[in-house]
Structure 1
Amino acid sequence: MTRSPRRTPAALLALVLAALLAGCSTVPTESAAIRITQVAQPSDDDVRLEPLAPEAGAAPEEVVRGFIDASASAVRNHPVARQYLAADAATNWSDSDGVTVISQDYAPVQSQPGTVVVTGTLVGTVDERGVFIVGTGSVYTRTFTLSDESGEWRITDPPEGLLLLEPDFARTYEQVDAYFLDPTGTRVVPDPRYLVSGEAQPNTLVTRLLEGASPLLAAGVVNPLSGAQLRSTVSVTDTTATVDLSFPADVSDATLAAASAQLTWSLSQLDVNTVRVLRDGQGLDLPDVPDAQSTADWVALDPDVAPIGAVGHYLTGGGLRLASDGGTPPGPAGAGVYGLVAAAVTVDARTSQLGFMAGVSSIVSPAGDPATLLAGTYGGDLTPALSGASFTDPTVAGTRSEVWTVRNGTDVVRLPSGGPAQSVSATTLAGLGRATQFQLSPDGVRAAVVLQGAQGGQVYVGTVVRDDDAVSVRDLRSIAPTVEQVVDVAWRNAGLLMLLAGDPSTERTVPYTVGVDGWELSTNTTSGLPGQPTAVAAAPGRQPLVSANGTMWTLAGGNWVTLVRGQEPLPGTAPFYPM
């Protein structure tokens, strides 16, 4: 008798694309509605520093300030915060309708007896599913009405949900990624969520996964857990989490494997080393998938994989150079015959070999256009694919052999290896400004775009949606609205961006990092740079590269250093990492 070959986890995942993208009945397009009763389930553990109850005789401003402080409690139902409310308000106040985050330097001012106006800067909001939406930096204003109850001022109209100061939010909530799959089924894609610290996090995170991706991301990813439901609370013993689910009756092994990988990658962020996934109380019994799984069993789905061959490159004199030592790669592109001003290269994740290449040439085309997009094989000849007035630097993702760019500031195009250029729908882009930079995320599900508006360049992030042969970039949203004069952007990993933008305090261009949802915007060092950086490149597991004063620099040990330690800086611009 001939035995069927054993299938590895990678082999099972190879079936995911067929099972998930074919729209088969094993993966419903909608999951059962799940009621979220808290923004993130607070802990019942009261061994924490808790806010103080109202003081006798407190003025209205002090009562409002005390209420805001007490809202940062991690105790379920916020009992101390309710003590600042009038009797009816304390009974009816909902603390589960999201979070509004404001700056620490807010001001509560009594405008008239029993009325206090709170003014601060809007940092952002968090919805009931833990999704953060960055604020515009505009002024936040809310009026509180208070009544005198038995000689003590109490709030009669608290806001729905929580009002937290930025440092209190950062202390009480943790960012945890809910992972979904990219459309090729080869990487998990981070979807940041904000959960209250505590033992309830694993159960809350699994609930978020079952509910589905956040609205702005959902159309660009696949959710293998769609249609599944929790049978019992997620338990964690030592460092092993157990997740007992019910799945649709006809669910495939490929979908179960993908769901297991999704759960394992997600829960591994919560001091969980292994995950046991059960179906109706029984093990999944998948071929070559252990009962207790770790991310090592699903390493092929690593969101931030960095192929060995993904060595940094840059340009000088129109020719390609290696960032490792300034060496010249083989082929005409290295010799400078194309007059390149920007380039991008794909990497074969299996062999780590560089493959499809595209570059922007400054040589005037036969039609008289000042820029030409060339394409071909790395190390081989490049041929014209498109011409136009301008092209953004080409960009690639680690999941497909294709190059993207924006022609003439508004027309997004993608160029598949071996195929003709295709238009990408981006209906809202033109109304936001002229695109000067466009970079795909490592998983190809998101795109970061620098758009030139009235206040200079600003960075937006959109979702790449693939529907049969139609491809679009949707839901462009500003993720750093307070940062202006952005000149370049790169992906440090699947969930973190690096920007070059103006710093108002120094009136110079400096590097910033910011989460894909706009949280934790921070400036980076410029130590070691000879001048203002003008271009940046980054990739998972790689040190960023910048061009400054026409020379190349890399970040090492908290300082920018020359590409070759101890040697003079090498001339160069337009750095990039193959992906």
Structure 2
Amino acid sequence: MAADREGGARRRPGRAVAYAACGAVLLTGCASMPDSGDLRGVESTPRQDTLVRVFAMPPREDASSSEIVSGFLEALTSDDPDYETASKYLTEEAARRWQPKRSTTVLADGPGAEAEHVGGREDGASLTYTLTGTRVATVDAQQSYAPAGGAYNESMHLVREKKSKQWRIDVPPRGVVMGQSDFQRNYMSVDKYYFASSTTLGSSQHTAAVADPVYVRRNVDPMTQTVRSLLRGPTSWLDPVVRSSFPTGTALSVDSLTPDDQNRLTVPLNDKAARVGLAKCKEMAAQLLFTLHNLTPTVDEIVLESGDRQLCALTDDDAEAVAARGSVGRAEYLYFLDDNHRLVRLAAATNDTKPDPVPGALGEGERELRSVAVSRDEGMAAGVSLDGRNLYVGALVSDGPLGEPELTSAGKKAEEGLSTPSWDAQGDLWVADRDPADPRLLLLQEGVGDPLVVKTPPGLEGSIESVRVAADGVRIALVVKQGDKSSLLIGRIERGDDHKAGGRSAVSVHELRSATPELEEVTAMSWAGDSRLVVAGREKGGLQTMRYVQVDGSTPEGPAPAALSGVKEITASEDARLPLVGYSEDGIVRLPSGTQWRKVVTDGTAPVYPG
């Protein structure tokens, strides 16, 4: 839920300045228990100012069963760190068994609750309530978000305790359940950072940092929560392709973390980290710095300790020498095709509107092009011919030659030929062949030679229309079309051990998951941050839209891009300081931060940043 801001970092919400029980701060629905009558749906609390922490009330003496149910559901949406108030609505045995941090189920509205009067009466010894709603998402025990759909139905059983004669819940719902607006008020998305285990950047040995988004509770010491989540390791989806420098079992040796007045954060660790070397310690500190910039960009130094010994210290500047993030790298140029279908460029960080041809054959117009991609070091470019059949690769140097096509599709139409290509962090080139007779996802090592067919998950339905590889080189975004619908799927790239050494080992994409469950059609997409993409498409019902989405399918905080009519293509840099650029019915246009779309050139197509 990353709000747009300079540098692409995320601002930490303000520290709570008011701590109030619901009796002191009146919030809609907060512990508002009815005195009598049937229990109706528990409405989701409207989103509140995050400066106010919300605490629920414990059950009152002789509360009815309906009050116990509504009070418990409201307590789940409070800022109680360990759900102690919610536990007071349970029997002692149920409170011991209940695991609120096991999962969170997010519903479109607050859960409805209805008593099942068959076999149970208010004046009896037990009652069952059914909780209902429409699923939107789930957050698992690793704090990983996943879109969900379908109906939610779960039983909750109450008993009247023999000794106290009070109603209590003896079978609570699994985990926590709440409405979407309560979820947005209670939780925030943060990126944890790990290192790509088999990917370096280009020809260097620089390690690529990979974002792993999770959700933490916004007003319950989010810094300490986030660090603990980082130490526990990556989420299951990302784990096969990343590594952590923290030794297994490393944990905090304090209950809470707070930066000092010098913007320095000291992180005391248990003895599992006591024997790490200096290089490994600096990697650990870099992971922490990258991660905490989601929450507080004012932390600019990490000090790691174990026992009574300082292990190492690392500043922001030193962290960038340990590993690289896509959101930090700055593209030098924006590239697109002019009205002669040749590759031209503009300085990326300016308002220039007069492009120059790129050096080399692709800028000289030897081949008319339909789409292009430029390598991340901006030394190479790949272009698909106007008829969609041939892929050409050339160096962006003066007098650079252009040989025969590196790849040819048998597709009979341009839209059945090759997709727009994409360069990864290792300098390899990805492209989809959309030939209906032989659809394939292909990789050309260093952009040349015989293509390697990339294995995709069994049962992938539809054809791959568009390909974009993340700057970290371990995640790939695919637009997959099936019939008249298309969706954006995010996959994990796995490579054989000898691939980087030039071998022909298998490269495969695993565990595709939807990033746009609310869209019926995806027209264009591009990476727009370490875990964020920008997407243009059509919602269910036909409404055209442009929005940011997270790789986990959630919607980031902050405004959506300004509307752009007739958008056909869009490109963004992982570096959020650079403007969005689109190709629409008005030509090439760009969107500087905080403004409206501005025309760059009328006669131009296929805009791209490097990647």
TM, length-normalised to structure 1: 0.80
Deviates more, 1:50-59 or 1:309-318: 50-59
- Correspondences of 1:186-197 after superposition (within 5 Å): 186-197=207-218
For residue 382 of structure 1, the aligned residue among 385, 395, 402 is 402
For residue 544 of structure 2, the aligned residue among 472, 489, 509 is 509
State whether residues 335 and 343 of structure 2, in contact with CA within 8 Å, keep that contact through their aligned partners in structure 1: no
Q: CA offset at residue 495 of structure 1?
A: 0.9
Q: Aligned partner of 1:513: which letter?
A: Y
Question: Hey, what's the Cα distance between the residues in 1 that align with 2:275 and 2:448?
Answer: 38
Question: Hey, what's the Cα distance between the residues in 2 that align with 1:252 and 1:329?
Answer: 50
Identity of aligned residues (%): 27
Q: Which residue is 2:598 aligned to? A: 562
RMSD across aligned C-alpha pairs, in angstroms? 3.0
For residue 407 of structure 1, the aligned residue among 427, 433, 438 is 433
SS at match of 1:420: coil
Q: 1:231 to 1:458 in 2, by over 3 A?
A: closer
Question: Hey, what's the Cα distance between the residues in 2 that align with 1:193 and 1:535?
Answer: 30
- Correspondences of 1:136-175 after superposition (within 5 Å): 137-148=149-160, 153-175=167-189
Question: Hey, what's the Cα distance between the residues in 1 that align with 2:54 and 2:447?
Answer: 62
State whether residues 326 and 570 of structure 1, in contact with CA within 8 Å, keep that contact through their aligned partners in structure 2: no
Q: Which residue is 1:21 aligned to? A: none
State whether residues 525 and 534 of structure 2, in contact with CA within 8 Å, keep that contact through their aligned partners in structure 1: yes
Q: Deviations over 1:178-236 (max 9, x none)?
A: 11012324332111122224574444333323322111111222222243623622643
SS at match of 2:171: coil
For residue 100 of structure 1, the aligned residue among 93, 105, 116 is 105
Question: Hey, what's the Cα distance between the residues in 2 that align with 1:53 and 1:248?
Answer: 41
For residue 359 of structure 1, the aligned residue among 360, 383, 386 is 383
Q: Aligned partner of 2:379: which letter?
A: G
Q: Does 1:125 align with 2:153?
A: no
Question: Hey, what's the Cα distance between the residues in 2 that align with 1:61 and 1:423?
Answer: 62
Q: CA offset at residue 375 of structure 1?
A: 0.8
Q: CA offset at residue 374 of structure 1?
A: 0.9
SS at match of 1:109: strand
Question: Hey, what's the Cα distance between the residues in 1 that align with 2:447 and 2:300?
Answer: 43
Q: 1:557 to 1:198 in 2, by over 3 A?
A: closer
SS at match of 1:260: helix
Question: Hey, what's the Cα distance between the residues in 2 that align with 1:342 and 1:297?
Answer: 38
Q: CA offset at residue 158 of structure 1?
A: 0.7
- Correspondences of 1:333-482 after superposition (within 5 Å): 333-348=362-377, 354-363=378-387, 371-379=389-397, 380-383=400-403, 384-388=405-409, 389=411, 390-397=417-424, 399-408=425-434, 410-417=439-446, 419-428=448-457, 431-454=460-483, 456-468=485-497, 469=499, 470=505, 471-482=507-518
Question: Hey, what's the Cα distance between the residues in 1 that align with 2:432 and 2:543?
Answer: 27
Question: Hey, what's the Cα distance between the residues in 1 that align with 2:179 and 2:333?
Answer: 42
Question: Hey, what's the Cα distance between the residues in 1 that align with 2:450 and 2:572?
Answer: 26
Q: Does 1:309 align with 2:309?
A: no
State whether residues 146 and 153 of structure 1, in contact with CA within 8 Å, keep that contact through their aligned partners in structure 2: yes
State whether residues 186 and 219 of structure 2, in contact with CA within 8 Å, keep that contact through their aligned partners in structure 1: no
Q: CA offset at residue 453 of structure 1?
A: 2.2
Q: Which residue is 2:124 aligned to? A: none
Q: Does 1:533 align with 2:567?
A: yes
For residue 520 of structure 1, the aligned residue among 543, 552, 555 is 555
Q: CA offset at residue 547 of structure 1?
A: 1.4
Q: CA offset at residue 280 of structure 1?
A: 5.2
Q: Deviations over 1:460-508 (max 9, x none)?
A: 1011122322322211111222221112211111111111110345x24
Question: Hey, what's the Cα distance between the residues in 1 that align with 2:267 and 2:604?
Answer: 52
Q: CA offset at residue 70 of structure 1?
A: 0.7
Q: Does 1:242 align with 2:271?
A: no
For residue 274 of structure 1, the aligned residue among 298, 301, 305 is 301
- Correspondences of 1:182-331 after superposition (within 5 Å): 182=196, 183-184=199-200, 185-197=206-218, 200-227=221-248, 229-230=250-251, 232-233=253-254, 235-238=257-260, 239-245=263-269, 246=271, 252-271=277-296, 272-279=299-306, 281-284=308-311, 292-300=313-321, 301-303=323-325, 304-322=327-345, 324-330=352-358, 331=360
State whether residues 406 and 438 of structure 1, in contact with CA within 8 Å, keep that contact through their aligned partners in structure 2: yes
| Unmatched 5+ stretches in structure 2 | 1-15, 21-52, 121-126, 201-205, 347-351, 412-416, 500-504
Q: CA offset at residue 100 of structure 1?
A: 1.4
Q: Does 1:544 align with 2:580?
A: yes
Q: 1:111 to 1:385 in 2, by over 3 A?
A: same
Q: Aligned partner of 1:264: which letter?
A: L
Q: Deviations over 1:348-367 (max 9, x none)?
A: 3xxxxx2111111134xxxx
SS at match of 1:130: coil
Q: Aligned partner of 1:532: which letter?
A: G
SS at match of 1:333: helix
Question: Hey, what's the Cα distance between the residues in 2 that align with 1:282 and 1:424?
Answer: 51
Q: Deviations over 1:315-372 (max 9, x none)?
A: 5442223354242414432343312111111143xxxxx2111111134xxxxxx511
- Correspondences of 1:70-109 after superposition (within 5 Å): 70-86=75-91, 88-104=93-109, 106-109=111-114
State whether residues 231 and 280 of structure 1, in contact with CA within 8 Å, keep that contact through their aligned partners in structure 2: no
Q: CA offset at residue 437 of structure 1?
A: 0.9
Question: Hey, what's the Cα distance between the residues in 1 that align with 2:459 and 2:407?
Answer: 20
State whether residues 342 and 359 of structure 1, in contact with CA within 8 Å, keep that contact through their aligned partners in structure 2: yes
Q: 1:86 to 1:283 in 2, by over 3 A?
A: closer
Question: Hey, what's the Cα distance between the residues in 2 that align with 1:270 and 1:296?
Answer: 18
Question: Hey, what's the Cα distance between the residues in 2 that align with 1:76 and 1:492?
Answer: 33
For residue 572 of structure 1, the aligned residue among 604, 608, 611 is 604
SS at match of 1:64: helix
Q: Aligned partner of 2:128: which letter?
A: T
Q: CA offset at residue 90 of structure 1?
A: 3.6
Question: Hey, what's the Cα distance between the residues in 2 that align with 1:76 and 1:485?
Answer: 41
Q: 1:336 to 1:140 in 2, by over 3 A?
A: farther
State whether residues 458 and 478 of structure 1, in contact with CA within 8 Å, keep that contact through their aligned partners in structure 2: yes
Q: Aligned partner of 2:79: which letter?
A: A
SS at match of 1:313: strand
Question: Hey, what's the Cα distance between the residues in 2 that align with 1:212 and 1:424?
Answer: 32
Q: 1:510 to 1:489 in 2, by over 3 A?
A: same
For residue 483 of structure 1, the aligned residue among 519, 530, 536 is 519
State whether residues 553 and 560 of structure 1, in contact with CA within 8 Å, keep that contact through their aligned partners in structure 2: no
SS at match of 2:426: coil
State whether residues 412 and 426 of structure 1, in contact with CA within 8 Å, keep that contact through their aligned partners in structure 2: yes
Q: Deviations over 1:406-431 (max 9, x none)?
A: 12364222223364244253331662
How many positions carry a matched residue from both structures?
510
TM, length-normalised to structure 2: 0.76
Q: Which residue is 2:30 aligned to? A: none
State whether residues 495 and 516 of structure 1, in contact with CA within 8 Å, keep that contact through their aligned partners in structure 2: yes
State whether residues 405 and 413 of structure 1, in contact with CA within 8 Å, keep that contact through their aligned partners in structure 2: yes
